């Protein structure tokens, strides 16, 4: 059913209101009457009209002020306003246009002119309504597509994190580190990163990228990687290659997590004084993620049992970290590490070595 257009007639003279009503109703319009500006503003809020026929000279709020208020309101600014006036001077018409009037109707009102002005204003209103509805539909579609994109990105993120986790676990088949080491080291890195003022997204990226720091160990021969005693110089050179191997495994990825994992794999054995490997980077030339994961990796190694050593005490491990400040480790990272000592100890307690590594489990099966 076609909607009947609503016209609000605003005039302080009752006879003028009744005259316009008598002319408009037979034309098929629904007419609402208001005797002053305040009443007009109230009725617009109740039943928004399609057109407003507005007298200018009224007590209280005159037509200029009513038009100005209606055009300032986001909900009513698209309603066409036709000023109905006996004023003929150009100054009044300019003032009305500045207040927001869309058209004029001269008193006394001529029926033919009234019909033409109303018809024209209704066409303008219909266009505005169409554009507003289109805008709403467009915004809804954009919101829908944005949500779909967010879900797609979240799915891709989950898939990326799953890949990181699986590649991190793969190194356990070649190493005696446990999954708990990976959890501890990555969480140590994230709390230190947070303490250093990195953003939430940057902290999360380090948390998810750090587990792949030793991914390159998968390319180190077992006789070197699993040697229970001290490595000779030749073996040590081979062992150091796990950083560049890891970098190659993780290179050329579009994932932000994998990109940072590549950086960490290549730089977590660099030292602040330039004596690290593989490139001998020094100071701030070492990416911050590498400096952070370096201290997390060393601390967990100190506190963990290895084939060639028993775990160090907390006091001795802390002392070694402090002694490395300015030589092995970035001084600011060391300060951040000790500033979150409580969190570090909580992480250590949460991720205990409850089970042997996958490598040890597999080796036990092979020996049976």
Q: What is the pLDDT of residue 170?
A: 57
Dist CA 51 CA 35 (whole Å): 16
- One of 3.40.50.2300, 3.20.20.70, 3.30.70.20, 2.40.50.140 is the CATH number of 6-139, namely 3.40.50.2300
Residue numbers of the chain with a pLDDT score lower than 50? 355-368
- Conformational region of residue 49, where left means phi above 0, alpha means psi within -120 to 50, and beta covers everything else: beta
Tell me which H or E stretch contains 10: strand 6-10
- Boundaries of every domain in the chain: 6-139, 174-367
Q: Are 53 and 20 in contact (CB under 8 A)?
A: yes
Q: Residue 41 contacts by C-beta under 8 Å, 6 or more apart in sequence?
A: 61, 66, 69, 70
Query: What pTM was estimated for this model as a whole?
Result: 0.56
Mean of all residue pLDDT scores within the chain: 85
Decide if 6-139 and 174-367 have a common fold.
no
Closest CA to 314 of 303, 325, 298: 303
Burial class of residue 329, CB neighbours in 10 A (0-12, 13-18, 19+):
buried
Q: What is the pLDDT of residues 233-248, one digit of tens each?
A: 999 999 999 999 999 9
Q: What is the pLDDT of residue 86?
A: 79
Instruction: Report the top-level CATH class of 174-367.
Output: mainly alpha
């Amino acid at each position: 059913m076609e909607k009947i257009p609503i016209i609000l007639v605003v005039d302080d003279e009752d006879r003028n209101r009744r005259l316009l009503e008598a002319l408009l109703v037979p034309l098929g319009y629904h007419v609402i009457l208001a005797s002053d500006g305040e009443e007009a503003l109230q009725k617009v809020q109740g039943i928004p009209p399609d057109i407003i026929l507005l007298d200018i000279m009224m007590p209280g709020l005159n037509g200029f002020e009513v038009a100005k208020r209606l055009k300032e309101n986001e909900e009513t600014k698209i309603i066409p306003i036709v000023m109905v006036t006996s004023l003929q001077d150009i100054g009044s018409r300019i003032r009305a246009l500045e207040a927001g009037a869309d058209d004029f109707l001269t008193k006394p009102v001529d029926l033919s002119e009234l019909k033409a002005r109303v018809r024209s204003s209704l066409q303008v209103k219909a266009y505005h309504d169409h554009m507003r509805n289109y805008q709403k539909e467009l915004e809804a579609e954009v919101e829908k597509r944005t949500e779909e994109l967010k879900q797609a990105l979240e799915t891709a993120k989950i898939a990326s994190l799953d890949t990181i986790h699986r590649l991190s676990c793969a190194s356990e088949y070649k190493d005696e580190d446990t999954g708990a080491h990976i959890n501890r080291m990555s969480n140590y890195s994230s709390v230190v990163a947070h303490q250093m003022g990195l953003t939430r997204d940057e902290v999360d990226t380090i948390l998810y990228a750090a587990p792949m720091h030793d991914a390159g160990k998968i390319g180190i021969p077992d006789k070197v990687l699993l040697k229970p005693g001290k490595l000779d110089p030749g073996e040590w050179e081979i062992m150091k290659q796990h950083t560049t191997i890891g970098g190659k495994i993780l290179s050329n990825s579009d994932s932000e997590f994998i990109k940072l994992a590549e950086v960490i794999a290549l730089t977590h054995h660099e030292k602040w004084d330039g004596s690290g490997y593989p490139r001998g980077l020094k100071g701030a030339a070492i990416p911050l993620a590498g400096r952070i994961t370096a201290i997390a990796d060393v601390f967990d190694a100190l506190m963990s049992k290895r084939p060639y050593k028993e775990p160090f005490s907390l006091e001795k491990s802390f002392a070694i970290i402090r002694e490395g400040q300015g030589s092995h480790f970035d001084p600011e990272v060391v300060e951040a590490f000790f500033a979150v000592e409580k969190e570090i100890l909580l992480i250590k307690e949460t991720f205990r070595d409850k089970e042997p590594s996958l490598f040890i489990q597999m080796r036990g099966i092979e020996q049976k």
